[in-house]
Chains A and B, each alone.
Chain A
Amino acid sequence: MSGLVLKGVSRDFGPVKAVNDVDLEVPNGRFVCLLGPSGCGKTTLLRMIAGLDLPTTGTISIDGEDITHQPTHKRNLGMVFQSLALFPHLTVGGNIAYALRIRGLSKEEQARRVEELLALVHLPGYADRAVAKLSGGQRQRVAIARALAVSPRLFLLDEPLSALDAKLREAMQVELRQLQQQLGITTIVVTHDQREAMTMADTVIVMKGGEIRQAASPVEIYRKPADTFVADFIGSTNLIDIVRDGDRTMLLGRPSAVALPYGVSKATLSVRPEDVELVAPSSDLPEATVTFVRDLGGAIEFFLDADGTQVVAVTSPRSRPQLAIGDRVGLRLDPAHSVVLTR
């Protein structure tokens, strides 16, 4: 198939399995985010795709061509590192032109391409600036322009926005996504920020302990998480125990309409805070006590205690229920908006 294919890729560092038997397919032109907590192997996976680390076992191929042992400098990549690593001895233009200079392009061609790229990242006329005099966001753009200089086959970014402040980061996420769509380049971004992944990616790949837990579109990952780790890592969620009791299922001490898969006696129900509906207490619904109210202006969060299980509910200010700390409420958990997780 065309695109990037990883088959059974593992990487051991001594006794530690940083990446464990990963299979992955990235069709050309796709924007993929590798998402996971620190130490989950996402950066190691990216470095193996770049050729900066060699897999212990497994193969990596692009468009059917096996590149597992191809040296990095022959892979035609663009990579943005977490530290950016702009060349301190070169100007902005010199940094961007580096790949072109290595390939022996003429000075005029280099200058033309540098201006093109600077326009692309909204920094026209910056070619002669010193790298040290740039702001964080500008350095970011220069690093991106440098990586895109030779129209690479793969565009790899390792935590590219982590050094920026929150506002700038959100703006750059949108910009990066638009840039990728404009160029149609296969892009893989490593991040630990789930908002970042949701904003940019066609496909989000959630990793933990060197393994892929789920690979799906952002909405699917949010709506249909594969397991409790993914459900908890992507956004916030309520994880509530659900048990089989004869021919019923019990949730927070009350019979529930949620069905358990055949042969499963105990599972976890994942309900997003916005899907927890707060109603007047009644005998057929789980009950809870309000322990804390966080009014964020745009949304109101209610922290509830249901017989020892903490449940969080979010409502919009318009539908604001008049609740105070200590009030008893009923919880309506719609089976259509919750997911039963058996792992």
Chain B
Amino acid sequence: MRREPARGFVQHLPVIFPGLMLTIFFIVPFGTMVAVSFFRRQQGGFYVPDFVLANYARFLTPFFGNVLIFSLYLAIAVAVVSLIVAVPFTYLIARSRRQTQVIWLVALLSILSLSEVIIGFAWSTLLSRTAGITNLLVWLGLMQAPQALVPGFGAVLTGMVYQAMPYAVLVLYPSMVRLDPTLTEVARTLGASPLKAFFTVVLPALRTTLIATLIMAFIFALGSYLLPQILGRPSHWTLSVLITDQALYQSNMPFAAAMAVFLVLVSLALVSLTMFAGKKLEA
């Protein structure tokens, strides 16, 4: 379809408005952050405009390298676990009656109204030795003595998956509902068991959505800075924790900005890699 080129202010408005919003709310803050990352820090928590690479040079150390690798590892783990939990969950919801769907979705989305602090301390209590779920397991005779599951990697992962799940379901739900249920019926008439039909038809047909969910959960987990502190040991602290620490408590804005820019670049690279792999899979 050919269209007339847009003329005048009014016809350009549909482009101008989002462009303006993008500039104000994304390009300006991000540009500021990039600029600050090259500024020089002064004693007393101030910084002056300059162009120094010292902030970037500072985290080219094994310590920050390890933190970066752990951050990526944790974010990937959260994304994968969220997907594994959310896919069957959403599929079952999408196949149930309308009323059942609404109840489940409302319950799930109510998680979004909880603050990260509450989620963190709730899980920390739930996984503790004195009041945690291990007491329940002991009472059921499945364990010998109550155990503390917090702090630890498992606790951090659990808390962050809990937080990422509603978002994952929100991304998956529309495509799952729209997926033609006769696709699985066809697969069954062609000799696939229901489980096989799920893996050979439902998942491949939803591939694009699955990749989108994975990326969304990954980015979401990468930005989390509270839960690793509440539920983890210092060794489970992510780059986001260090950024918060530098920006708020050490008052080293340029260094925090440099780390943030680096984190953005690395996650952008990973996201494009995932999308590229997704395209490859499609071909």
Residues of A within 8 A of B (CB): 50-52, 71-79, 81, 83, 85, 87-90, 98-99, 101-103, 146-147, 149-150, 156
Contacts and interface: CB of A to CB of B under 8 A. Distances in A.
A83 B189 contact: no
Contacts of B196: 73, 102
A85 B182 contact: yes
Contacts of A101: 200
Interface in B248-264: none
A11 B192 CA distance: 25
A73 to B, nearest CB: 5
Nearest to B188: A72
Interface size class of B (residues with CB under 8 A): 20 to 34
B189 A78 contact: yes
B95 to A, nearest CB: 14
A89 B185 contact: no
A52 B183 contact: no
Max chain B C-beta neighbours (<10 A), residue from A71, A78, A87, A99: A87
B225 to A, nearest CB: 38
Contact of B185 (A85, A98, A147): A85
Interface in B6-32: none
A89 B207 contact: yes
A210 to B, nearest CB: 22
8 nearest A-B pairs in the assembled complex, by CB-CB distance: A99-B190, A79-B189, A85-B182, A72-B188, A89-B204, A85-B186, A102-B191, A77-B189
A299 B189 CA distance: 45
Nearest to B183: A85
A34 to B, nearest CB: 17
Nearest to B204: A89
A71 B190 contact: no
Contacts of B189: 50, 52, 72-73, 75, 77-79, 147, 156
A98 B204 CA distance: 13
Contact of A73 (B180, B193, B204): B193
Max chain B C-beta neighbours (<10 A), residue from A74, A77, A89: A89
Nearest to B190: A99
B184 to A, nearest CB: 9
B201 interface: yes
Contacts of A52: 185, 188-189
B182 A73 contact: no
A81 B182 contact: yes
A102 B190 contact: yes
B188 A102 contact: no
A81 B186 contact: yes
Contacts of A156: 189
A149 B194 CA distance: 20
A165 to B, nearest CB: 22
Contacts of A146: 186, 190
B185 A102 contact: no
B187 interface: yes
Max chain B C-beta neighbours (<10 A), residue from A71, A75, A81, A156: A81
A51 B188 CA distance: 9
A81 B191 contact: no
B274 to A, nearest CB: 18
Interface string B156-191: 000000000000000000000000101101111111
8 contacts: A73-B193, A73-B194, A73-B197, A77-B189, A79-B189, A89-B207, A98-B200, A149-B190
A247 B72 CA distance: 98
Contacts of A72: 185, 188-189
A226 to B, nearest CB: 32
